[in-house]
Structure 1
Amino acid sequence: MKACKLNRVKFATKSILVISVVVGCSNAFALDAGKAPGFNFPGLTSSYLLQDFNGMNLPEEVALTKDYQNSYFYSNCYSPNNCYRSVPEGSMVFFAPSGFRSTPNSSYPRVELRAKRTFSVGQEIDVEQSGSVYIVQNPKTKSIIFAQIHGDKSGGSELLKLRWKDGAIVAGIKSRFGDSESQSTLLAGVKLNEKIDYKIEAKGKDGEMRLSIKVSVNGKNSIKEFSFQKIGWEGVGLYFKAGNYNQTSDPDGAAAIVAYSAINIEYR
């Protein structure tokens, strides 16, 4: 069995700082179901915070540790009652029950990773998040957001929402802060428990940011590109998210379950 490969932090010379942190494995089956996600994904604790629920089922944001897991965030197959056979053992599972309380300025429950580092439209940037994700169980609305570029300003700062919507992979874009979301279908016919490989890359300079979204499922590929102007996102710090943003508020809407077998975040 191949071992997991981790690209460590690299520092460039002169005045340019390059950070490349890979939180994932080249061989997903090398993940260990007996260990918490922080062990299986070595850069997780340094790169992300976790939004989940506390013992009273209320939203919380916590600093991850290597041994952190609970009923909403855990390694696949760490116990017989928390094992989805169609997903590699040791994958990172996000379990979001419908009808649970939401975070401020939202109507839906979430169990998501929130990147610690921010960036802005218009600055010179080259940032990327990628992952291998499985939609294990859909809620009543058959809609789950599994990756985002979110903003630190309330009132419409979700620049990108990447969702599974009744078998389609859909990119939701806001060209300007506070705009209504414009949706584009990337792939259709994606079944539950099929592996979805995605990459979100943002590059910016001269007051503009270009966004490339690549999705691959069972040999089917799709690439979409978008452009954003600094004037539309002035003063909004942006950050990546990944996990399970359940789009069902009905308490009887069933749980949304998402699993990641690999995740990567890079700031270059």
Structure 2
Amino acid sequence: MIRRRALYNRKFSIFIIVIGLSWISIQCQGSGTALKNGSYSQVTESGKKYKLPEIDLSHWKVTIPEGKGKGGAISVEPPEILEYATNETLKPYMYNDSTSGALVFYAYPSEATTANTKYSRSELREQMTPGNDDVNWTFKQGGNLKATIEMEDISRDEEGKYHKVIILQIHGRLSDAQKEKIGQKDNNAPPVLKIYWDKGKIRVKTKELKFPGTPNEGLLYEEAWSDDEGYTFEEEVGFKKFDVEIDVSEGKMLVSLNKNEFKAYDNIHMQKWGVFENYFKAGNYLQTRDKDAFAKVKFYDLKVSH
């Protein structure tokens, strides 16, 4: 009799646990805590599903095509950037696509540009220490970026060809000591890597020394560097999702598309680039001033490690 009662009590306890877990599961789905396909899959009270991008913005600031003319583009840093979805200034240029679970960057030709360019952007800038542009990384320290991206929409030029957009960059930076050494007014150095969405294909451009024997101090001058001829991956991504990975180590840089095509840079130019600090950039840097031009770039995933 005692054994039967113990067995009954055990079965009843298991039943209560199962019911409890089922109730918790239902509550979690209703409050939007379930994770699905890399984005938070949420359900509203009306039963309509929507997704939010799973991108950590705590180490990024964003610059948008809004502000007071050349050099006056607005930037928003952490922690304010974390509230982008309710920030009235950011909302037109950086917003969620709750159907696909992507973070969208919108840009158009604007008078509000950054100091050293004529083009406008809606673009993230890495900050290793949130809110501080002065902490960056070198090739010796290394860096890795992985992103899943999609071109949502983009305008065409007068010939009917799609405009170009820079979607990822590694930008160089002078330390304060280097800036003072060469008498430059700011910390800006050239971008060692630009990755373009170019008429449906992914194109990579990097920097080369004009004279490989340039001494160390001479490396700090922008005039010492020029663009290489560029490299275009064979696969046409068009308006589909694609994965890009950038991996940097001392004297080397590797760029891959969809884990299928690879472009390696392992040469004197990458070795000499070690003199600079660097930071990653990601988003929508529209490469035209054409009237009525625009681009919308989706980021489904964006991860950086050092």
TM-score (norm 2): 0.64
Structure 1 CA distance, aligned partners of 2:68 and 2:188?
Answer: 28
Whether the 8 Å CA contact 1:100–1:249 is kept in 2: the answer is no
* 1:242 pairs with one of 282, 285, 300: 282
Whether the 8 Å CA contact 1:171–1:184 is kept in 2: the answer is yes
Whether the 8 Å CA contact 1:174–1:182 is kept in 2: the answer is no
Match of 1:214 in 2: 256
* 2:123 pairs with one of 95, 106, 112: 112
1:100 to partner: Cα distance: 4.3
Could you tell me which runs of 5 or more consecutive residues in structure 2 were left unpaired when the two chains were aligned: 1-28, 45-51, 86-90, 129-135, 157-161, 175-186, 210-221
Whether the 8 Å CA contact 2:168–2:282 is kept in 1: the answer is yes
- Residues 32 and 169 from structure 1, CA distance in 2 versus in 1: closer, same or farther, beyond 3 angstroms? farther
Structure 2 CA distance, aligned partners of 1:231 and 1:132?
Answer: 29
Check if 1:93 corresponds to 2:140: no
Could you tell me which runs of 5 or more consecutive residues in structure 1 were left unpaired when the two chains were aligned: 5-25, 78-84
Q: For the aligned residues, what is the CA RMSD?
A: 2.9
* 2:242 pairs with one of 169, 184, 196: 196
% of aligned pairs identical?
24
Match of 1:60 in 2: 74
- Number of residue pairs aligned between Structure 1 and Structure 2: 220
Deviations 1:164-197 (A, max 9, x none): 10011101111345312431011342212x0011
- Residues 100 and 138 from structure 1, CA distance in 2 versus in 1: closer, same or farther, beyond 3 angstroms? farther
- Residues 233 and 33 from structure 1, CA distance in 2 versus in 1: closer, same or farther, beyond 3 angstroms? farther
1:126 to partner: Cα distance: 3.0
Stretch of structure 1 that moved more, 54-63 or 237-246: 54-63
Whether the 8 Å CA contact 1:3–1:27 is kept in 2: the answer is no
* 1:166 pairs with one of 192, 195, 199: 199
- Residues 74 and 247 from structure 1, CA distance in 2 versus in 1: closer, same or farther, beyond 3 angstroms? same
- Which of structures 1 and 2 has the bigger CA Rg? 2
Structure 2 CA distance, aligned partners of 1:145 and 1:32?
Answer: 32
Structure 2 CA distance, aligned partners of 1:152 and 1:30?
Answer: 36
TM-score (norm 1): 0.72
Match of 2:231 in 1: 184
**Matching residue's letter, 2:61:** L
- Residues 33 and 159 from structure 1, CA distance in 2 versus in 1: closer, same or farther, beyond 3 angstroms? farther
**Matching residue's letter, 2:104:** V
Give 1 or 2: higher helix fraction. Answer: 2
Alignment of 1:250-265 (within 5 A): 250-252=290-292, 254-265=293-304
Check if 1:30 corresponds to 2:40: yes
**Matching residue's letter, 1:109:** S
